[in-house]
Structure 1
Amino acid sequence: MVALVPDLVGSGGRLCPLRPDGQPAGAVEAAPDLAAAVARREAAERPRWVWAATDETYPRLLERAGVRPARCHDVKLVESLLLGMAGRHGSPRSLGAAWARLHDLPEPADAREGGADDQPVLFAADRQHLPQDADPLTALVAVYADQRRRIAASEHPDRVLLLCAAESAGALAAAEMGRDGLPWSAAVHDGLLTDLLGPRPAGGARPALLNDLALRIQQALGRTVNPDSPAQVLPAFARLGIPLHTTRSHELREVDHPAAALLLRYKELSRIHAAHGWAWREAWVRAGRFRAEYVVGGVVSGRWATRGGGALQIPRLLRGAVVADPGYRLVVADAGQLEPRVLAALSGDPGLAKAASAGDLYAALALDAFAGDRPRAKIALLAAMYGQTSGEAGQLLAVMRRRFPAALALVEAAARTGEAGGTVRSRLGRTSPTPSASRFVDTGGDADGAEGAGDFGSSDQRAARSWGRFTRNFVIQASASDWALAMLAALRRRLTAIGPEPRLVFFQHDEVIVHTPAALAPAVEEAVAAAGDEARRLVFGPTPVPFPLETNVVECYADAK
């Protein structure tokens, strides 16, 4: 392991070798050209690099030398994980804040992470949080050593170490994907937008097809309304005898009226225009690449977020714009039915594990417990994972409880923990936050309060049940994130072994895209399969539950589904 601190200005920095416990193992090296020094050590030793924050440090190495370290320890991301395990979600996580906690000093607030129009100055964010007399390298080494102590003291240190390594590897992949970018054809994008919206309007005006839809909505409602304004649309529907609570798509789909169908189409196209239209391309696509800014661990469950750009929500209608370079292919890999498989592996339920081994988990579940009715089997399993109890889902949930008791016991125990205000953990130790204490006021066990048992008792009790639904799914979704990050780290390593050309260019929860020379596509497919199985073994141990990744080798993303 080698700790690394860049100079505040210039291209230099300092390096310090570390022992496994995080203590210094040798003299500090001053490197006038930090990127070159890292490249030399990476080629000779392949150490695990320890630095304050990958998103601040790594882009500089990529830019100056193109060096791609195999491993790192991201102090900021690891600090966030360890704080969560200690019940301190939301506490400042920077190097400066961690250093302050070590010395019982006031914790400085984290710097606001820059967005598309507010880029942070590289390396300055953490440095400014340290006292003026604190040496950044000394602070980094001390905080890292403290993190190693806290990991060793955890209930399952091997799992937590794996989680920290996978989270840090994800940060490396995120920086690389932001630099390499997803291939994006401006010509195809233009054609798709023109087909969907009409020619590009001047001055940011509403496109022609949106104007036409807005006029048709007004005609169907019999009055002038702005389709973007729920305050105008809801009363217009009410005058037609159609009461709506919102203009959300799920409500509109239940309405049998021409205006509802038109408004649904308007909302879909308006969203594309706003989120992935011509202005979006000018902001986010450069040199034929969509360069997203991923936020690793941006969601409490471990899923990623983005700083604008909508990388995690590329509409299916626009996937035709994602086109491989000539002579290249896109290897698109998708882990189907991931969360149900996670539930099977976590719970060890033999019936659910058997269904997961059959390929289509829902179809196998249907044959086993729902008379071959796949849609009902899917509803039942989703109800188990998300805590839905009303209507048909409640009846199907009773079947699940009888036929798959271990799986239901796991999620229901997680729900009870959440209802009581407790925390639950993923397979590797990612910890759920706690709700505010006010949500769990003791009602003295009286479930028949003024609001009545039919309304789930008091507002505090309803809030408790809501939080129970959150923790019920957190165990599954966060463990799915554990697997996905371990898979991403394993795939990144295997792609490096194939050669410099196959590049990860997209990651979204349970899907990855690799841009590769066509001749190497078979090797990439093998790497994807091996990475998925490696992650299964690392995260879940000797489970019989498979985690298959379906791969498609295509020239265009739209052809993968």
Structure 2
Amino acid sequence: MYVVLSRSSRGIVALRLADDASEIAPAETVSEADLPAWVARLERERPRWVWDDTTRWYPQLLAAGVRVERCVDLRLSHALLRGSTLTATSTLALSPVGHWDRATPLADKPETHGALFDLDDDPAETAPTDPLAEFLLQRDATATAAEPGRIGLLLAAESAGALIACEMKSAGLPWHADVHERLLADLLGDRPRGLERPAKLEELLDRMRAILGTHDVNPDSPAELLKALRRTGLQVASTRSWELKEIDHPVIAPLLEYKKLSRLQTANGWNWLDTWIADGRFRPDYVPGGAATGRWGASGGGALQLPKQIRGAVIADPGWKLVVADAAQLEPRILTALSADRAMAEAGRGDLYEGIVASGAVKTRAEAKVAMLGAMYGATAGDGGRLMPALTRAFPRAIAVVEAAARVGERGDIVTTRLGRSSPLPGEAWRELQESASVQGASDALQRAARGQSRGWGRFTRNFIVQGTAAEWALCWMAGLRGRLWDLRGGRFTDRPHLVFFLHDEVIVHTPPELADEVVAQLEAAASDAGRLIFGEMPVRFPITTAVVDNYSQAK
């Protein structure tokens, strides 16, 4: 059963639909105040809730202690169906750009959107945002897709991710502000006043000035720092850390340390602590599908970039544990499964990189890692480029998949992940340059620029299919894990083991200690399920490394 929800001037309008989308009950109206209790009662029938945007419905339910099992997030689903090659001929994909294509729908019309069958409202206001009409369009697009099963699984996983993102924000990541303060003090010195630099940064700056013999050094300004280094005789093209590491000069060590600590202060220093930590929790706004590949983003707070220096402040509640898990060598294993490369699957029966060494393709584990990164990201020079021929000979099917994706991108065309997320087309400027370079008489410089641009987009599509499919695997992993954790104990979802953090291929579960071993087992089982769900019985392992700890810094 589906339950389509919409807000109108009279309250919440709900329509129940059978699985075939036929109406099974008259539309009913529920007040905002009664919505959580009404949803909790109907949840016993295991419906799939259909709403415009999970972030507009689920937080209020969670605040009232109501957890739902399944939903259809129309906004996220619309974006997938609009862009996928699997649904390119659907009515939805061919329709004009409109309300559902907005990144954040309904922000300016909180009271009038989606008034399902609300005939007292202005049809011109409600029709474009009617969730029932959009839901039916989406069902038709899915049913008529080239491979309905693939895109249907992706839609379900994306919507499950939206529920998980809201639940993680509601639960929050346990965070001890006092420990964070001590970590900052140890690394940077006492909290500075106003715009003062922390003591450690001032000390490093004094060292740099003494070495360079000048007070005219401002490491916080790349342009001024570059001038100061060049005046000293250092031939530097930029102040990027990777370039500075190649220079042999006494000023480089304190400069690199300054840059590292300055980033910490800016990204996760005292201002971050005051802004983002409240009531012992970090509650970021996750953005499912925030990147083109389907990887998540975060709206403020830097949830996807928590540096190791402060992870010691992530401490389980008294009487609880953190189970930190990550998928080992995820993207190379995804490539193995995408390509059905049996030789690479055999190499991945244990440590994949050691298996590549054992195959004779390369000599060391470090070379195996560099070679695989080169294959997935398009290395043509350096160690990655040097190792590619041997890797291609050992695993031709795997390399053929990414090479084919690169050629598609170089032509300016679209590639699609295992479940159906498609890459965006390059922009108008890209196409204009390609067309200009193809004209008879185009200069050598223009042609070189076009070739470089073409190869760059090829590197994007090469990686898109791997990274995008890895994002799909992670969604399926978390969705399966979410259900498994729910079954381990009764009570509200925060009384049970529950997800509190996610970073691409890593999750943290907050759990009572007596259930920690069972959580580890469920993490591993959910990973195996995700692999079978997406790739069938292809013999590719997706091993999970886990650690049961009191604080995040103990995990690695």
| TM-score, length of structure 1 as denominator length | 0.90
Secondary structure of the corresponding residue to residue 147 of structure 1: helix
Per-residue deviation, 1:372: 3.6
Instruction: Verify: 1:541 aligned to 2:536, yes or no.
Output: yes
Contact map agreement 2:161 2:475 (CA 8 A) in 1: yes
Contact map agreement 2:325 2:547 (CA 8 A) in 1: yes
Instruction: Verify: 1:352 aligned to 2:344, yes or no.
Output: yes
Per-residue deviation, 1:121: 8.0
Supply the distance in 1 between the matched residues of 2:255 and 2:105 (Cα, whole angstroms): 36
Deviations 1:85-142 (CA, angstroms, capped at 9, x unpaired): 15999xxxxxxxx89x86x69658737589xxxxx689559559x9932547992111
Per-residue deviation, 1:437: 4.3
Moved over 6 A (4+): 443-449
Aligned ranges for residues 153-552 of structure 1 at < 5 Å? 153-223=144-214, 224-357=216-349, 359-370=350-361, 372-440=363-431, 441-442=434-435, 450-451=443-444, 457-499=447-489, 500=493, 501-552=496-547
* Structure 1 residue ranges without an equivalent (≥5): 90-97, 115-119
Change in Cα spacing, 1:210 to 1:54, as seen in structure 2 (3 Å) is: same
Per-residue deviation, 1:282: 1.4
| TM-score, length of structure 2 as denominator length | 0.91
Change in Cα spacing, 1:13 to 1:461, as seen in structure 2 (3 Å) is: same
Aligned to 1:94: none
Deviations 1:393-431 (CA, angstroms, capped at 9, x unpaired): 222101111111101110000000000111001110010
Supply the distance in 2 between the matched residues of 1:124 and 1:212 (Cα, whole angstroms): 56
Supply the distance in 2 between the matched residues of 1:446 and 1:109 (Cα, whole angstroms): 36
**What is the Cα-based RMSD across aligned positions, in Å?**
2.8
Aligned to 1:559: 554
Aligned to 2:56: 56
Supply the distance in 2 between the matched residues of 1:186 and 1:17 (Cα, whole angstroms): 46
Aligned to 1:41: 42
Contact map agreement 1:2 1:15 (CA 8 A) in 2: no
Contact map agreement 1:380 1:396 (CA 8 A) in 2: yes
> Quick one: percent identity of the two aligned structures?
46
Change in Cα spacing, 1:389 to 1:360, as seen in structure 2 (3 Å) is: same
Contact map agreement 1:52 1:75 (CA 8 A) in 2: yes
- For this pair of structures, how many residues does the alignment match? 539
Secondary structure of the corresponding residue to residue 542 of structure 2: coil
Per-residue deviation, 1:322: 0.4
Contact map agreement 1:367 1:373 (CA 8 A) in 2: no
Per-residue deviation, 1:160: 0.5
Match of 1:150 among 141, 156, 178: 141
Contact map agreement 2:4 2:14 (CA 8 A) in 1: yes
Aligned to 2:30: 31
Change in Cα spacing, 1:108 to 1:297, as seen in structure 2 (3 Å) is: closer
Q: Which amino acid aligns with 2:82?
A: L
Aligned ranges for residues 80-159 of structure 1 at < 5 Å? 80-85=79-84, 110=102, 123=110, 132-133=122-123, 134-135=125-126, 139-159=130-150
Q: Which amino acid aligns with 1:326?
A: P
Per-residue deviation, 1:201: 1.2
Change in Cα spacing, 1:352 to 1:105, as seen in structure 2 (3 Å) is: closer
Q: Which amino acid aligns with 2:444?
A: E
* Structure 2 residue ranges without an equivalent (≥5): none
Secondary structure of the corresponding residue to residue 502 of structure 2: strand
Supply the distance in 2 between the matched residues of 1:449 and 1:15 (Cα, whole angstroms): 61
Per-residue deviation, 1:448: 11
Change in Cα spacing, 1:106 to 1:318, as seen in structure 2 (3 Å) is: closer
Higher deviation after alignment, 364-373 or 292-301 = 364-373
Supply the distance in 1 between the matched residues of 2:128 and 2:515 (Cα, whole angstroms): 42
Deviations 1:23-78 (CA, angstroms, capped at 9, x unpaired): 433211222311111100112x1111100000111111112x21111110000000
Per-residue deviation, 1:272: 1.0
Deviations 1:310-333 (CA, angstroms, capped at 9, x unpaired): 111101011100000111000001
